[in-house]
Structure 1
Amino acid sequence: MTRTEHETSRWRLVWRQLPLLIALVALWLFLWDHIDVLTITTGVLLAIAVTRVLYLPPILLSGRFNPWHGLVFGLRMMGWVTVASLQVGFLAVNPRWHPMNSIIAIQLLTRSDLVTTLTAEATSVVPGTVVVDIDRERGLLYLHVLGTRTAADIERNRLQVLGMEEGIVLAIGTREQAASVREARRARRAAGRSAAGSGRESTRSSKGDPS
């Protein structure tokens, strides 16, 4: 790599990290609740120290934001939270309900630390699900899920988490990540149609069986 290419790569890295630095400075200003030269200066220095001195996994922002997919993800999150809140509220007052919960492992589609963290945060916001562990190397989320009596309940929660990851990637992920989750979504839909078709064939076969 030539010196010019190295400098270009370095400045590209700084540009991608700039939103994170700005967010840390903004958080510092919110904590102090006033803005002056000293507060801004200390906020900038602390933001640089946090991102450069302390040991943190490298987080590279894609530099991309899709407003439409961001809006869709926000609306879907509100729907998930609303439905889950009603379900948990009903279970809490239902005298016949007996708790049956599960710890389930969900394989994420990406290995991005940022996407994994945001997916875990979004999952924990929805009532009835709590992230208990993350396997960063293998991209696994371990969740404690409320009310999982059947395999269908577990699959529904798995698809919901994958839907959250998909929404986050389509909103702020790289183009490569977006293409990957779209391909995985098409594969899931194709598998679902195939399973539904097989189920209908089995039903027709059983009805036509004279035995």
Structure 2
Amino acid sequence: MTDDPPPGRAAGDAEPPDTPPPVHLAPDAPAPAVGRGGRRRDQAIALGWLVAIWVLLWGDLSWGNLLAGLVIGAAVLLFFPLPPVTFGGRLRPGALLVLAVTFAGELVTASLHVAAVALRPGYVPRGAVIAVPLRVRTDLNLALTAEVVSLVPGTLILEVDRDRGVLYVHVLDVRGPEDLTASRERVLAVERRVVRAVGSPAEVRRLNPELVDRRNHP
């Protein structure tokens, strides 16, 4: 299969020397390779997240937990290296604050709900597993959204389908279809807050496809 030459140029003519070849990237294509400085920056960000998760799991902010988190995080990055996940987003302090405050509120309300279910005499809660397709399918968004959802009592990530960008979530105390819908909406709300806090402008726009379609078709 051959490409036809553009108008005004013969088939044997060479490309102009100063014209770079076109690059076409799919919306969810992996990011280009980064240099040593970018790699170190990504490792530092990953180490910071591992330390934060370690402290959250222990539930105690202390120098001992911070030091242990640094050691464990460094060991994980050294002995269990994962494919590089480049950070092409933008840190937004306001959205980060919203993410943290909302997470703290959900942590308290979910803990009270689980405690009430556990202490209710004779009540047997029903659980369910739901599939939630995310709108931003990058590895970073999948990991952050899954971690935030798993840290809230009553919800647990059972599996992550990386290829399709789907989270399989176990939810507690399901009484009807409306509870399943509400659980999906809560996971998508977590994704929205995560992307708005650390995502790129293109990823933020992807959360509102109707706005993009409105711009393209006024």
Coarse TM-score class (shorter-chain normalised): 0.5 to 0.7
2:85 to 38, 59, 73: 59
State the partner residue of 1:68.
94
| Deviation sequence 1:15-63 (CA, Å, 0-9, x none) | 54333322567779934989xxxxxxxx7xx96x669xx4x33311025
**Quick one: structure 1 residues 95 and 168, their matched pair in 2 at CA, closer, same or farther if it must change by over 3 Å?**
same
State the partner residue of 2:40.
18
The one-letter amino acid paired with 1:106 is: V
State the partner residue of 1:175.
201
Q: How does 1:1-211 map to 2 (within 5 A)?
A: 13-23=35-45, 30-31=67-68, 54=81, 56-183=82-209
| Deviation sequence 1:93-123 (CA, Å, 0-9, x none) | 1114222110111111111101101111000
- SS of 1:100's equivalent in the other structure is coil
- Contact conserved, 1:88 with 1:127, CA < 8 A, in 2? yes
Runs of 4+ in structure 1 off by over 2 angstroms are 12-34, 182-187
- SS of 1:103's equivalent in the other structure is strand
**Quick one: structure 1 residues 17 and 185, their matched pair in 2 at CA, closer, same or farther if it must change by over 3 Å?**
farther
Gaps of 5+ in 2: 1-18, 21-31, 52-65, 214-218
State the partner residue of 1:204.
none
State the partner residue of 1:199.
none
- SS of 1:72's equivalent in the other structure is helix
**Quick one: structure 1 residues 79 and 122, their matched pair in 2 at CA, closer, same or farther if it must change by over 3 Å?**
same
- Contact conserved, 1:16 with 1:62, CA < 8 A, in 2? no
**Quick one: structure 1 residues 169 and 57, their matched pair in 2 at CA, closer, same or farther if it must change by over 3 Å?**
same
> C-alpha separation between the residues in 2 aligned to 1:153 and 1:14?
47
> C-alpha separation between the residues in 2 aligned to 1:33 and 1:115?
22
The one-letter amino acid paired with 1:179 is: R
Pairs aligned (count): 167
Q: Percent identity?
A: 31
The one-letter amino acid paired with 2:41 is: P
**Quick one: structure 1 residues 14 and 176, their matched pair in 2 at CA, closer, same or farther if it must change by over 3 Å?**
farther
TM-score normalised by length of structure 2 = 0.65
- Contact conserved, 1:16 with 1:63, CA < 8 A, in 2? no
Q: Where is the helix percentage greater, Structure 1 or Structure 2?
A: 1
